[in-house]
Amino acid sequence: MEVDRTLIDKDFDRYVLATDGITKCATALPIEVLTPLNADATMRKAHWESRVHSNALTVDPFLSQSYGASVAYYVNAEYQLVQVVGDKTSTQVKLENVYKLPVLTTRQENVSIQVAGKGVIVYCDGHGTLYFLQAEIEKPGAKWSLVYKCAPWDVIPLLLLRAFYNEQDQHLYVVVAESLSKNEVDGAFRLSLVDVVAIGTSTGNDMKIDCQSVGLEKHVTSGIAVVTKLPTYVSFCGPTVALLVEETHQLLLKLVADKEEMTLMKEISQENDTLMLHKRRHNEDVLDDNEMAALLSKLPRAGIGFHGEISKPKEPSELASLDFNTPLSERFHKSSTPFSSVDAPLCGKPDTSTCYRNENIGGSPGRSLEIPTAESILSGFEECDNGDPNAKASLLLVNCEQQVVQQQLAIDCLNFQFLCPSVQVNSSSDFKSALLFRNDVHGLVFKLNMVVAQLSLQHASTLPAFGFVQASKQEKKFMSFHPSGSFACIGEFKRRVFVYQGNNSSEKERMLHTRRQYVVEIGDQELLGMQIVSENTILVLTSSQVYMLELDT
């Protein structure tokens, strides 16, 4: 991951609070939203976080494009799937009950909804059953019907993470997460892929499924990985899916070896007698003792007591100088090929010990030695500076047809902290969505590219000082941003939604190195859902109302 410094305003000053610029429209709900499950303090941390940050609102980018309006869904207290349509020409959103779902007396997990394609919705009841719904036409007021139903793992606590219908091969792919009990020591969630075959033909953009072909043999389920934290980024592109997993994970699918690593290992095994410049690989911990010994014996060595002319030491004693009368400082030989990740030799740097010699300290009579205190050490230290040295994250590229992990791309978590994925806006595939990382105090937007089944991240835009901003929000529940980097928003548990301007600022604001910040008061209500539905529209869901926030363009 490389940072494009030209996209960062190094002189950025502040966000300026704007009192106007957002229009808020509220619509009362005839029936309240289905109450989400409580987060018990005795739950595992990962389960507690998934409950607390559960989003009850799901955006539909496909019908939003067809309708020319903002479309989203939620489930009300009577287990009815409600469609929300926000038209820019109206001050009120339209609410329509599109399907009556089975009523549950108890729930193991929150219900979840995902839009798989144009007029195709997948619903999970939290007990392990998936319902596949389809609209007859792509117009408001269309009739929705059940076309498929299955329970991949029988009755278990299950969350729906993403669904995607691939028109080319007529497969509907679903990624689900099973909540594991406390007795499971390997992780908190088991990620699985459900592959449903669509029977019949596909004409145009309509998905045709034979309702009479419902059966267990029509879907295939396979495990992907066991993770310790619920993924928030799951994205499809045809028969491949990319997932960003944080902390530790255990793959349940075969990992295809990286071609570059295979080539490097082949060169090492075949060229034992040739010295070459070495750049330390980050996967050397997988080598056994014999392989590590072969690798180290090939490298040019330098250090205390070794002169450097022995290229293939056979005994440990050969690494030490035979002249023990020579002072230790003179027996040290600087390496011309450092055994580290740096590409340039370090032997040209000045000796750091010269900075602390007595004559240098005494040469400044007016200089006083400061005794470090907790305040002096931690002054200026912010939460956004607190990078966890043990943090881990990886992007997994899974091939759904071959049932393999094609790539495992490690994230430099010490410098890049993953914040959130962007929304899916007017696209047939959310694979083009972006990811937001904190780097220093800024929020960097990276686009995910795939070339020859290989993932890469490209710095596309910057939300100035957003890393600092989000760290200062102790009550944040939802966080999202537009994939273009035009704006980002943070929803608190109650009362407020913050909107931060990105790269769509005016020339005057750029000259002043400022951006606008909006604060929208929702009232003393708990936020149950928040979604960016277009380039200037945000929908916010509470238990009794839905708000449409319009940004002035």
pLDDT, tens digit, 9 for 90 and up, residues 146-168: 999 999 888 999 999 999 998 88
For 363-377, what is the mean pLDDT? 54
Rounded CA separation 322/304 (Å) = 12
Higher pLDDT, 308 or 473: 473
Q: Residue 411 has what pLDDT? A: 94
Tokens representing 498 are 């913050």
Which helix or strand (DSSP H or E) is residue 67 part of?
Answer: helix 61-67
What is the pTM (predicted TM-score) of this model? 0.75
Mean pLDDT of the chain: 79
Q: Which domain holds residue 335?
A: 280-311+329-340
| Residues 184 and 87 both lie in one domain | yes
Same domain for 442 and 497? yes
Q: Domain for residue 255, yes or no?
A: yes
| 102 and 185 both lie in a single domain | yes
Tell me: do 396 and 517 sit in the same domain.
Answer: no
Domain match, 217 and 174 both: yes
Of 410, 444, 466, the one marking the end of a domain is 410
Residues 165 and 52 in one domain: yes
Total of domains in the chain = 3
- Binned at pLDDT 50, 70 and 90, residue 313 comes out as low
d(CA 190, CA 177) in angstroms, rounded, equals 5
Pairwise CA distance, residues 542 & 544, whole Å: 6
Q: What is the pLDDT of residues 421-449, one digit of tens each?
A: 998 775 444 446 799 999 989 999 999 88
Q: Average pLDDT of 320-339?
A: 50
* Cβ(236)–Cβ(164) below 8 Å: yes
Q: Which has the higher per-residue pLDDT, 311 or 110?
A: 110
Tell me: the pLDDT tens digits for 286-306? 566 666 666 555 554 444 444
pLDDT of residue 286: 57
Determine which of 265-269, 345-349, 513-517, 518-522 has the lowest per-residue pLDDT on average.
Answer: 265-269
**Which of the pair, 208 or 225, is modelled with greater confidence?**
225
pLDDT classification of 394: cutoffs 50, 70, 90: very high
| 37 and 137 co-located in one domain | yes
Which two structure tokens, joined as six digits, stand for 101?
């779902």
Would you state the pLDDT for residue 258? Answer: 53
Three-state SS for 405?
A: strand
